[in-house]
Amino acid sequence: MRTNDLILRTTTNLIAFILLAFSVYLFLAGHNAPGGGFIGGLMTAAAIVLMYMTYGFESVSKIIPINFRFLIPVGLLIAVLTGIGSFLFGAPFLSQTFGHFSEIPILGDVELATAMLFDLGVYLTVVGVTLTIILTIANDQ
Amino acid sequence: MSNLAVLPIIVPLLAGIIAAFIPRKTTVVRIFSRVMTIVNLAIAMYVGFEVYQNGSIILETGGWKAPFGIVIVADMLSVLLVITTNIIGVACVFFASRSLTDKQESFYFYTFFFLLITGVSGAFLTGDLFNLFVFFEVLLMASYGLLVLGGNKVQFRESIKYILINLFSSMLFVTVVAFLYSVVGTVNMAQIAQRVQEVEQQGILTTIGILLFFVFATKAAIFPLYYWLPKSYIVPNPVVSALFGALLTKVGIYSIIRVFTLIFIHDTAMTHQLFIWLAAFTMIFGVIGALSTNNVKLIVVYNIIPAIGFMLMGIGLYSETAVAGSIYYLLHDMVVKGALFLLVGAIVALAGTSDLRKMNGLIHHYPVIGWMFLISTVALAGIPPFSGFVGKLLLLQGGLEQGNIAIVIVGLVTSLLILFSMIRIFIRGFWGEKDESFTPDKKKARAFAWPIGCLVAITIFLGVGAEFVYPIVADISTYLLDPSLYIDSVLKE
């Protein structure tokens, strides 16, 4: 007998978006407030795991057609390349820089740092690792 | 340019990441890995040349001044070890495709391999105690992956033991770093050394030093902490065993050399005296293990342990000759253990058994492998024209200079027993009647012989060309015994 999980599906639709938005907020807030790539990545993974639990593996992998295993090397590559990027400017490995950009629409004056790119690498790696672990165990026959 | 110092860490890391994108295309990954290991060896040699010409390269990562940021310190000792690591890496990556199945190769073997090289090079090059911990974890994580690759029942059983013991020692490492940080208030090795010197290493610091020694002793398999090593090193694929046997325990012994020639040097009556005792027991127990078995893999694995004892003995004696002997022995042992593990892997694959009693007359079928095995054996035992001799001679000379006759006798007897345990393989396995019913696989033997031949050639060079290598090693020894050189080069005072 198929169980009717209407309540679970409806609340998931709502909560998954809140979770994703909060994870992006945490990821962006890392420089000046608690947060950062690691916790942001875990929160995103939590949101995606919630969707897997509600809708099942088949339908979610149709919506998010990413092999999460590839996110790990992608994230690592981004992180390492931001470190190597400093070679081009003759600065020591892993040097970071930042700049003020006032021309950005809507947001106005923003301070952007290259540390953010490193964090993006961490974020992608964490999402990749977490979901690879969970999905590999979940799909194990 | 100071960024040179970080290249031996970054290049294998990048190679490992790129290899992870295309795990299923085995041929492409294989060729890519071979090219990248050779590139990395060339880079390491260039860094070595630069260091030899212009002195240590200090890289302050992120542009932060020395005690505040992480420093990468490429001095002569670390660079020589990185070069040796990469030589073994090249030999292993060429051996890998011959001993692994396609399926094992496609399950991220090359990624794990490169991460192992990253971790080992990083541990050799870092100048920061917590960063050393991180690189230990990098190489241990990669070694866990390599250990279970293949998924046999015995591999799972041994990997559980291996992971448990390493997790425990890593936890102890973090705790010790916390203790040390609470006492001296820094994790930069040069600044720790400076501050320990300022307070003349009071009781609490000696205690922390001994605890730190226990952490590294677990990684390096020193008596009484070697019990996890023999079984867990024989279960993985031969190429993985060779990487483990040649590199992993040596990172532990390198850390002991670094820490106990730089930081904890003010109470040698306590610490270094303990090392001599432990070195003697390590030699005796290791060689007894090697004599106790008829499994060829296990004989070679047990021979790691007395070699570690020899290196520890040099640090315990703590004189210029003895430390030079330790370093020479370390370089020699990495190469010769790599060669021996690959040889034993080849022998087991070719003979179809690892039981010594079932082998007979292999030299009629595989003369090249047989003679290479004999050369490696006598090099390991320390017979004059080969590499083991120089290191052992210096160590025994150092022992005699200090009038420590007991350790010299233990060292000599151990050498004899090492020779006996290894030559047993040659006599029982290679000599004897030609077995006509046995069909040799000449093509496979030739494929195995190339990578091993390179390592054996380097072993011979380390022995015959001692005149080129010894002055460098002697310089390193002088440099190590004067920690102010390291401290000044890092803190720039």
Mean pLDDT of B212-235: 91
Cα dihedral B472/B220/B138/B1 (nearest 10): -10
Which residue type occupies A100? H
- The reported pLDDT for the residue numbered A89 is 86
Q: Is A101 on the interface with B (CB under 8 A)?
A: no
User: Is the confidence at residue A23, as pLDDT, over 70?
Assistant: yes
DSSP characters for B15-65? HHHHHHH-TT-HHHHHHHHHHHHHHHHHHHHHHHHHHHHH--EEEEGGG--
Interface size A-B, in CB pairs within 8 Å, comes to 42
Contacting residues of A for B17, CB less than 8 Å apart: 73, 76-77, 80
Quick check: is A130 in a domain? yes
Q: Work out the average pLDDT over B169-175.
A: 95
Q: Is A92 on the interface with B (CB under 8 A)?
A: yes
pLDDT at residue A56, rounded to an integer: 87
Is the CB of A93 less than 8 angstroms away from the CB of B13?
Answer: no
**Within a domain: A62:** yes
What count of other Cβ atoms lies within 10 Å of the Cβ of residue A81? Answer: 14
Read off the pLDDT of each residue in B146-174 and give the average, rounded to a whole number. Answer: 92
Average pLDDT (B183-207) is 91
Chain A residues whose CB is inside 8 A of the B9 CB are none
A87 in contact with chain B, both atoms CB, cutoff 8 A: yes
Look at residue A91 and tell me if it is in a domain: yes
- Please answer yes or no on whether A92 and B14 come within 8 Å at the CB atom: no
Positions of E strands within chain A: 98-104, 108-113
CA-CA distance, B361 to B364, in Å (whole number)? Answer: 6
Q: Which of B17, B20, B61 sits opposite A93 (nearest CB)?
A: B61
> Residue B387's closest CA among B341, B337, B328?
B328
Of all residues in chain A, what percent carry a pLDDT higher than 70?
98
Residue B440, pLDDT score: 75
Please list every residue in chain A whose beta carbon sits closer than 8 Å to the beta carbon of residue B61. Answer: 92-95
* A72 chain-B contacts, CB cut-off 8 A: 20
**pLDDT tens across A52-102, in order?**
999 888 888 898 888 889 999 999 999 999 989 888 888 888 888 888 877
Query: What was the pLDDT predicted at A90?
Result: 84
Average pLDDT of the segment spanning B411-426? 92
With a cut of 60, say whether residue B1 has pLDDT above it. Answer: no
Number of domains making up chain A: 1
Average pLDDT of chain B, as a whole number: 91
Contacts with A94 from chain B: Cβ below 8 Å: 61-62
Torsion of CA B110, B114, B116, B121, to 10 degrees: 160
Tell me whether residue A118 is in a domain: yes
Q: What is the Cβ-side half-sphere exposure of residue B396, based on CA atoms within 13 angstroms? A: 15
Q: Is A73 on the interface with B (CB under 8 A)?
A: yes
Selecting from B1, B14, B61 the residue whose C-beta is nearest the C-beta of A80 gives B14
Q: Identify whether A1 is part of a domain.
A: no
Find the mean pLDDT for residues B21-29.
89
* Confidence check: pLDDT of B375 > 80: yes
| Whether B62 contacts chain A with CB within 8 A | yes
Q: How far is CA A33 from CA A97, A116, B53, B359, B433, in A?
A: 19, 14, 47, 67, 77
